[in-house]
Structure 1
Amino acid sequence: MATNPLHGTREDPATAQLPAGITLVGSELRSTNLERDVRDPHLNSPYVGARALDVLDRVANAVADLKRTRAWSFTGPYGSGKSTLSNLLDAFLGHDTDRQDEARQAVEATSPGLAARMEQARHERAEEGFLGAVATARREPLAATVHRALATAVERRWGKRPPKAVEQALRACAEREVPTTESLLDALTALCDTGHPVLLILDEFGKSLEYLAASGDSGSAENDVFLLQMLAEKGAGRSGLPLFIFTLQHLAFSDYAARSSLIQTKEWAKVQGRFEDITFTPNFGDAVHLLQRRLDQSAVAEAGQQLIRDQAEAAAKAWTEHGLDSVVRISPEMLASLYPLHPLTAVAAPLLAFQIGQHDRSLVGFLTNDEPNTVRRTIDGASSSAPERASTIRLPQLYDYFFASGRTTILASSNASRWLEVDNRLNEAHGLPPEDRDILKTIGILNLIDVDGVLRATPAMIQFAMNDPSNAADPERFEMLQQRLQHLVETGFLTHRTYSNEYRIWQGTNVDIEARVKEIAVHVAPSHVVDHLGEHLGTVLPREVVAGAHMQRTGMLRYFRTAISLQADKLDGPSVVSDAADGMIIFHLGEPSTRPLVNSPLPVLIGTTKDPAAILDAGITLRALEDLRHQDDIDLVAGREIEERIAEISQELGTQLDEAFNPQSEESSWYLWQSGQDTHSERSEPIEARSYGALVSAACDRVYSQTPHIRNEMAGRHELTSNGARARRVLLSDLVTNTGLAVLGYDTTKYSQERAMYHGVVEYMGLHRAAKEVGQAIQAQTIATHGVSRPDPKKHPEVIPTWERLEQALTDATQPTPIVDIYEQLMAPPFGIKAGVVPILMVAALILRSSDVALFEEGNYCPRLNPEIIERLLADTGPDRFTVKAVPIGEGQRSLVVERLAAALNVDAPRSRTARNPALLAVTRAMLERVMVLTPYALHTKRLTPEALEVRKVLSEATDPDQLVFTGLPQALGLDAIPANATKDEQAAESYVTRVTNALDAISGASTALRRDVIAAIGQAFGIAGDLTQLRSGLAEALSGFADASLELDLQGFVSRVLNTSLPNEDWLDPIIIRLTNKALGDWTDQDVDSFYPRVKEMARRLDRVGHLYQGQEVPAPQTRAPEPKQIDTHLLTLTTPQGTEVRTLIHVPKKVRNTAETLVVGVIRQAEKELGPGGARILLAALAERLTATDSDHDPQGEEKL
């Protein structure tokens, strides 16, 4: 396809020369089989790299300290070294001294200190070594695998003559095809009792897990789970068995368990939690060391050694110039030991092996296999005893090896599509000269291994890769390479990414991506880039930054949210109360003078960079590519290239942003403004830190310098979790109701969430202490041992500024002030109290200031702070619904009035160090409570004095204690209001208090007075005088004759309630009243009062009319005891008028007044005889009878009967 190819861009492999004497150590990397290799007396010199050192360090710590984890699971792909490391551990800890020595030497070669520490730990734990219980798992029950491992341990240590107890235990295991869990645990215990710790290693453990997954919920599967759980538990803790467990598998437990039932998955999750998982990820340094150890140059002559050293020096220089130290730091000596590998070949080989999942085996195969393109074949064919140069094995040969020998594994790799794309494009390059094919292979390898742009295929990198390091700097070769690269671009085999100067293997397309991007970029404004970066915050630049160090010191979880700005933007920042963020970080892509104004009183950090234009240019290209991607004429090839360019430029842009704003970068400058509203001023502070988190912590330390410290992570945040909110609600309710108890009465044997919040917030800030520490007066005969307190300046100095600000805010609240306004003061700098903590401070202050601060809910005064109010206060809208007002009463007339009112109302005002004055709120509460308990009748009746009516009205409408006591009540009584500066006037105060208390007594006594009136009305209607007891007994005697009578329903109902003996006196009257009026006494109105006497009189008349029908018919029931003597005599008076009308009236005569009546009769008869003459007594009797019957007839027009 190419015409007139240019020559001289590469060195011909056919003329390569290698100094003779280079040999390869080991012909192959044999797979480790643990069951086989633990019996091998030699370890074959394993290399102990960084990955193995980490595992050995954990094991050494666990052997030395049994409190550490002793169960591990090794997870990693084939060839990652799990089995080899396990064999090394078995040798180091085992009883075979020869294997011990080899293992120690292998570890000493890398870490002499770790080797010594591990040897000492083994010697102290088991001088004669561990028992190596090793088995390779199969698709069988786990119990069978463990049994085989224990049998291996016994056979390796004692042969055919184990201790008797061990032999018996193993025999018990062998009695069944699959041993029981109990028998295996017994055998394990017997082995540990011999004084030898047990090292249990289960290789290919994934097969056991696959067997378990296939078994489902069967009994054997359940036993396997239980067995592994018991093994891990048996070897846990200082008191556990000296058992060390290793499981080796390719996937994590959860990946195998995913094929099982939900129950099994949960059970395996529990088991996995008892194992410490160690993932065997490839280690690049280990792979390079493996290559180094396989190459032996000891037989190379000095002349050849000098050629190798010269090549290594040139390679080291080029390595540094290309910035490859970030990939791996390689010294000239190491580069020399890697010869004949080109430095890039030594790096690319492990990276390619990692991609296809063969790791160390692929590397050793590239070195030692006897097949085309291997290092062995090159050494055999190019070695020279008198070489003129030291040629290197470069990337094209590495490409040929992997695509020829490793094609099968490539197809199974996760990156197969990209590999095949490169290979297919090269296969299409028919007719290209070898130089061009080598360029394509080199670029293909670089395309495959480059991840972060360090190894991207730039012209300089391609030149380095295609030549021996000593010739890589040849300018003529470089010039010819660039011409050939341009030729390959023009023929469609390569594409050149201008922005990164990178070449990529290319399938070709008719879309001119470069031209289209430039065309679109013209229409992309820098503001579009800022918008795009803002939408993607959280990828490179953080979306939020937590002040971790500040949080550790203070307990307050703070974070700044971030934004990106350009020129003189105006940004909305977080508010004090409603937003969780405590400030803002701005990444400014403009000149410092164009920094934005932030609409927020909270702190702002603004970072600038020296070259924002470079970031904007990259962002414009990225936006242009993203727009191009969605256009209709983009084919698959162009689409893939655009996607790759987007991914690459996104990564590059991320690198630029990190370098531009990272606090450690020389490109960035950071400044702090205490308030976002001041960013246009020069009141900034330069600030330095090592990270964004440290930057925000330093800013918080400066801005929120007076924040109190707490020790409870549930509370110290803006929005509490559901558990945290519940704990805070319970805590504050208990602070109100159980304030006098130590630890608020919490069970000290349990550490509940509310108790944790108590200790970490309330107690830690000094808000609740023992009474003697609080310094408050303790009431006599109280059981309170603790109380709410102010923070102690000596013990809690960091809380004092906040507390003083809170107290001052309450004192300054001379008008009703929303609690949210006070919250805002406490949450703003310099205090910065988090929303989870500020209600705790507020409630504590309200308790302490209960005497001079009033609390209102939606304008209504709250006489008590109770759990219900606490719950509403903590609601989302609570701070807006509640207000507070300071109500100081001074030392003048107001103080005197409150003092006299407290005495008159018998109010025990709470004592508080805050208020030296008597408690106005306690007096107000006492008066309001009298109104709050009034019955509907007492609350609405007009049957009170005018003053009482006015006082009741004022109390019913009261919302402000101060206004109530000193303005509303005096005016209700016709007095002047009491100003705050009024001087003392004993007489006026006494008069005011007397009139208030009289009115209160009248209001409170309205229901009692009504009850007395009702009793009197019933007595009058039935002719029974006396109190409630006398009324009840009198009515019972008077109506006892109706007990078994057949009466109308309403008469029967009244009689049955009168004669009810099961109720006490205080409850007896209410059913009678309800029967008469269909309404409870407390619900009466004044109209009910007016209509009651006629109703009860009517009931008495109706009973009178039917009463004569039952006179003399009463049949006494059989008595088991002597009847109680009657207290009332009943007489029937019958009067016949001249018209023939006969009127009957029942007259009830209480026996206690009978004697008085008889004495009175004697006097009256004498006076009648004297005044009326002979027969005067009879004349008087007739007149009295007519008068009485006439009175009754007035209330009962139909009461007369015709004879």
Structure 2
Amino acid sequence: MTTATSTRTPSSPSSSAPQFPAGIELVGSQMRSTNLERDVEDALHDPYVGARAVDVLERIASALADQRRTRAWSFTGPYGSGKSTLSNIIDALLGRDAQRRSEAERILEEASPALAQRLAAARDAIAPEGFLGGVATARRESVVATLSRALHTAAARRWGKRVPKAISTALEACADPDRAGAKEILGAVTALTADGQQPLLIVIDEFGKTLEHLASHNEFADAQHDLFLLQELAERAAGPNGLPVYLMTLQHLSFMDYASRSSELKTREWAKIQGRFEDITFVPHHGDSLHLLRRRLDRSAVDSAGQALINASAEASADLWTQHGLGVLAELGSDHFADLYPLHPITALAAPILAAQIGQHDRSLSGFLNSGEPNTVRHSLAQHSDQNVEHASTVRLPQLYDYFLNSGRTTLLASANASRWIEVDSRIRDANGLPDVDQDVLKTIGVLNLIDSDGALSATAPMIHFALHDPTEVADPAAFSALEERLADLVRRGFVVYREFSGEYRVWQGTDVDIDGRLKDIISHFDDAAVIDRLGSLIPQAFVASRHSQITGMMRVFYTAVSGPETKTVAAPDELREPADGLVVFHLGTDADRPTVHSPLPVLVGTTADSDVVLTTATYLVALKELSSQQDIDHVARREVMERLVQAEAELLELLQDAFYPPSPQASWSLWHTGIAPGEKPAASGLTARSLSGLVSLACESVYPHTPHIRNEMLGRHVLTSQAAQARGILLTAMLSASGKENLGLTGYKAERAIYHGVLAYLGLHRENGEAQAESHHESLLPYGFSPPGEGHEHAQPAWNALNEVLTGATERVSMEEVIRVLMSPPFGLKAGVVPVFLVPALIIRRHDVALFEEGTYLPRLTIDAVERLVKGPGRFSVKYTPAGDGQRGSIIKKLMVSLGVEAPRSKALRNPDLLAVASALITRVADLNKYARSTKNISADARAVRTAIAKAVDPDELVFHALPKALGLPEVPARTRASAEAANTYVERLTAAADELVAIENKLRAEVVRVLAQEFRLPAELSKLRTQLAARLRGFADAVLTPELRGFVDFVLSDSLEDADWLEPIVVRLTNSALGDWNDHEAKVFPQKARAMAAALDRVGHLHHAGREVRSREEKLDAQLLTLTDSAGVEQRTLIYVPEQARGEADTLAADVLKRAEKALGPDGARILLAALAQRVTEAATAASERKAQG
């Protein structure tokens, strides 16, 4: 868009600056809009009665003269088309005010003497003293309310405060629109016009507002009654015998247009009402507009030389007007052009057309002449008027274009011709680097393109030449040739398009897309609920409580939402994961149908009497959004849609601000502290502030009264910048590593130092230990430390106390998210950026009685890594109140520390040191057990239960005070349990005994293994003696040939490389193929059998080995054989027998003879029985001999 900051100086080949004869004046001020309720008591200020007004007054005069004609009219037309001004004239012509009537008759007589005489005669025939005048400007309200105000106005204008009783009674009956209805209104109308009273003129301005209200509420019974009231009133005023009532409504659209969003049935009902009114459409009229321009320009003060120049320009204009065939548009002569000076003839014709296109008509036209903005006629005259001028310049089309694009852009983009305006403006903006002369050509072509409808003003080269030059300079062949060359160059460079068939130049291509038609089609498929659902994303997403944020240092943000009568629930933001501190709901309904909101955050709900107009604007905006996403529109249409979209968004925002403006009587605001439950009354109603931001601050002061104050804007927000997050990380590290130093050891004045002073120190959480009560223990000998906020920091105490209550109340594990939620929710409202700095000191100060867990695992230390993880994912962490210093718990911990022989570590970083020392000692004892000790059932029930409880432990508090007492069949020890020495002693003694038993399992098993080996090898049970004597016994096998099993066992026994304590393990492995620590109860049970087998095998081998040596020492040949006898008890007796070689034959013969005799004497098994008896006797004799030998 081309911008301008001063009066435009047109560039043309013939002039460098305009020249206007001095003395030209603009008559009257800038045209103001008529307000009927205000202006019916004032003078008329000499309005112009043009052709449109004459036509309307003709109809009024005919209705007065012929009572059979309709007496109900609807004036339809856009803003600035003169509807209200004409209604004011009609009120003056028919009213009782003689001065206003005389002025109106004079004005009408100047326009049409015959009409003035006829209307006066018809009026005097039925009301010589004049009509009662009831005027009202409609609001978004019922028809009853609007008519009631009009009737009261009529009575007040006629009788003042002395209204006749009957009329006063009838008016009182309809004074309250909530209780009054059609019956009361008709009764008041009848009372005003009864018994020879004057006829009644009712004029309702801005009636479209009432129609919008009815259209949006047409499903309600009272709205339908309003429709019938309009119909009945018009019917009662019809015909010669009807009530003497003349009804006029003024609106921008017809009744049917307002009903376009209703159902087909409702639309037909509206059509019936429209049929009772004669619709008069106010359309632009060239003659009226040109006459308005002539009346506003006065050249009577111009001197004779200037008048001559103006007349020369006017005569040239008249000739050119005729040459170009423009008489078909308006019959103008030289006197008209003289009166229109300093306007160029084409400018005088184009200005009203452009004004009509943007919907402001006479108002826009008057603004072009008389406003103080750049590019107006007034501004040009003020800058370039002079007594000594050489020629009379004119205001040409480029200046007109600049005025409308700069001053009227907002309304222009909402006009029906917006697409052409947008494309023309886009092309000219693209040509921003062109010389001013070329830009003037483009603007002239653009305006001609915009105003030409029938070819009379098409942008041909002669017309462009005429429009670009003052009339006295048009006849210049060289200038025309230069223009043709310039046009050809612009065509060649793509800035304009030349149409050979018509000889016309254009700067816009146009579009075949019917944008307005598509918008209407889209809107027809919307209902209010669908629009409201989409509206939430189109309004500002949040409001900042500026004042409250500045006071507290916490950036307070309220999200926004939109609801309507059909909205049941509004989703609320999550106070932990979103930066919102509350919710602002723009409710396009009433207090009775407001939605529910489930949230711990505050909710501000606003309602407005202008909800209908907001919804209408929103519907248009949503439709534009929908249209912008369609793929079948060309780039020209898309550009227009996007321009409209931007404008509609701005308009909606402005409208929303106005409709819900807190000080406005149209808006009402209420506050709920924690969401809205069904039927719940607000905590505060009728809230008011200077702005919505101020209203949010007011809500914050009520809902967040205990917000801790900080003085650092980097941290007082939900999401930190990278710099702030880095500085906070450095501060948290210093809090854990340098808490005893001044300023936490931070030097310089970097961001982390600023956060320390503005947050940590300002909250009173870190100071000298002489002031820090929480650091008064013997271990706090450092000069600085953490402490609760004390004197001078009262603003932080409520939040600190609440944090301590949460930690103390966490008798079961509580998620850190829930702890943080308390701090971030009302009435504290800490921001997420501040929470870690507030929370870490509490965890440090309460390290003795608050345990910290990460994903269920107890954290014995609060490290910087843990804090970093806590900041990123608080949901992974939990806390638990674990008091261990007082009451029964304190007694138990002290006794256990003595019985278990442990001491609390002195590290300040360690959490719950006494409890942790006890728990660690117990856990360590079980953790150090070998496999056998962790699984054996050969222990007491107490030991088994304690072992199981400790193995499952993840929480020291749960282990010591809940799981272990329960395992021992004793009562659990919750926090704050009263001390009981007897109960404490019982628990400590049994727990200690069980723990000691668990520790002793391994030694007990080793002792049992030694005992079994000693028994089976018939050796002493002391490990050292067992080892020595067993080695001595088996040393003879050192060089013997043995099986692998026996060889391995013998080698380990004979090895002297290991200590006694280590010697036993390989012996066990050799016997069982399993280490002692990997045993289970079954392996322990079968070990004696394996040891016995090894002992027997070595014994057998040992006898044979010994016999072999004796045989080899003799000269005679002997055969050694070992006889083993095993009785029913499993006891074995072995006897070594030497058989001489020469005796073997005799022994075999004797054996055969003895066996026969045994079978004969003892039966078939006699030989076996004899063998058993012989073996028994032989082994017993051999054993006795061995014993005697051992004793001797």
Pick the TM interval, shorter chain: 0.3 to 0.5
User: TM-score w.r.t. structure 2 length?
Assistant: 0.47
User: TM-score w.r.t. structure 1 length?
Assistant: 0.47
Which structure's CA Rg is the greater one?
Answer: 2
